[in-house]
Amino acid sequence: MNTFTLAGDGALYIETMLKGLGAALITGLCASVCRECGKGSLADLVELAGKLEILLLCLPLIRSVAKTAAALLSL
């Protein structure tokens, strides 16, 4: 058994958090390397791309929250 099977329905949340954490770490590292090389504008673009990636990763979670809210409002 792995962590995702033990988590049940929360596996989506755990997986998304881990992917987002990895994207943030890699983005921060790349942006730091760009800044050290004197490419500040490129570092800003790398950070923007990382933020957009995390936003795209969160879309299934946003959809899940919207469905839950719609179900609660229909009661």
Give the domain range for residue 21: 12-63
- Between 35 and 15, whose confidence is greater? 35
- Predicted model pTM: 0.75
What residues have CB less than 8 Å from 35, skipping those under 6 apart?
43
Domain annotation covers residue 37: yes
Indicate whether 46 belongs to any domain.
yes
Residue 69 lies in a domain: no
Average pLDDT over residues 36-63: 94
Inside any domain, residue 56:
yes
pLDDT band for 13, please (50, 70, 90 cuts).
confident
* Domain count within the chain: 1
